[in-house]
Amino acid sequence: MRVEDYHPSEIPDKPGVYVFRDRFGEVIYVGKARRLRRRLANYFQPSRRRTADPKTRSLINSIAEWNYEVVRSDDEALILESRLIKDYAPRYNILMRDDKRYLLLALDPGERFPTLKLARIKRPGRIRYFGPFPHGYALKTTLEYLLAHFGLRACHTAEPDAETRRRCLKRIVRDCCGPCTGRITPGEYRARLDAALRVLEGDITELKAEISAEISECVAAERFEKAARLRDVMDNLSAVFGRRNRSFDRPELPGVASGPDAAEALRRRLGLSRPLKRIVGFDISNTFGTQAVASMVVFSDGRPDRERYRRFSIKTVDHSDDFAMMAEAVGRYFGRLLRENRPLPDLLMVDGGRGQLSAALNRLVELGCPALPVLGLAKRMEEIILPGDAAVLRLDRHDPALRLLQALRDEAHRFAVGYHRVLRDRRMEQSALDDIPGIGPVR
């Protein structure tokens, strides 16, 4: 939006992040607000051009376009602001320009006995990440409690030797189940790990009930210091892993939701007669409508078929409209299949709710596409949305059918974000001089 399009009544009074751009389209400032309407008024009131400090006046006079994004909480706004500042390094931002990052939790599924560790940078490879988390101290103390509560390995060595095992304090005080000593099987250890992962996913009700009962026992025994520590742990659980505060993409571990069995489970849940040999999933990625891209991933027999992945640079939509972007991507892919008389997939999944689903369906109808199963997967409650059905389908979080759809959705999201970053970085390397006739690499 341009500066003259500012209307206070149209801005929600909710948490969010706002971005200012100059006349060249360059991001010059990123900010967050607990109440967007009030914060943006500080910049667009006419009197601010005269009464603000010199830096703020310079910023206001440089604003040509602005956008905002509403989020669920102030914590989520803080994380999004930090990401955008590190991505674009706006010249009017002073804070968060260093290399400090919010903490993540990392899990290496390739280890014999995987465990949760702290990390700050996501590195390519098999490592799975949870986060980021803005409350560093709360995360550290909560992780320490979870490792002890579930008896997970806390040592830094993936394969401890005899000397390491002998000196392991966690084993001595029984905070670790000692999988390296053979006390439990890999399957038993994996069950403990799965229980801990459910907490990270926001399923903290049962654990909080256990802690609450332990607090009552400590109070009855007049062990008030331990009761206070447990109280802090319970508060940190809500602050870090509560559903309203989760800001990470749900990681999937290899083997838990893939293969023909998961595809067959999904077929039965959807009541389809044909086997789901090939499933395609679509996702959209953009920054307030700019550098918009779409991704399409394919799962064959329930497993990723990366040779068939496709990515699209959105061409017909120049503003923030996920529905129109989804319609363009679906239309381009299925239009080509129909023109070349190629076989259609057995199932189409779009990342999003009814709006994205309707956009995809309408485009398929416009193309004259034969009927095929289509569904949407909404992130908020992991709801499966089916065409023409007012109700939504909710499956158990451990159901292989849902886990397969989540894996498809997460893979589409990863592929879309990766392409979006490539285009964004390419644009950041461009200069206004590139558009001047006669200016080439040499001159």
Which stretches of 4-127 are assigned E, i.e. beta strand? 16-21, 27-33, 65-70, 103-107, 116-119
What is the spatial distance between Cα 239 and Cα 242, in angstroms, rounded to a whole number?
Answer: 6
Is 80 exceeded by the pLDDT of residue 192? yes
pLDDT tens digits, 360-371: 999 999 999 998
pLDDT tens digits, 286-317: 765 566 888 899 999 888 888 899 888 888 88
Is 60 exceeded by the pLDDT of residue 97? no
User: What pairs with residue 351 in β-bridges?
Assistant: 377
Picking from 211, 214, 202, the residue whose alpha carbon sits closest to that of residue 381 is 202
Picking from 109, 280, 250, 119, the residue whose alpha carbon sits closest to that of residue 190 is 109
CA 397, 398, 400, 403 torsion-angle sign: positive
pTM of the model: 0.42
User: What pairs with residue 16 in β-bridges?
Assistant: 33, 70
The mean pLDDT of 239-267, rounded to a whole number, is 60
**Contact present, 192 and 179 (Cβ < 8 Å):** no
pLDDT tens digits, 318-365: 777 889 999 999 999 999 999 999 999 999 999 888 899 999 999 999
Backbone angles phi, psi at 18, to 5 degrees: -125, 150
Q: Residue 375: what pLDDT?
A: 93
Is 70 exceeded by the pLDDT of residue 5? no
Tell whether omega for the bond before 304 is within 30 degrees of 0, i.e. cis: no
The mean pLDDT of 366-385, rounded to a whole number, is 88
**Contact present, 257 and 404 (Cβ < 8 Å):** yes
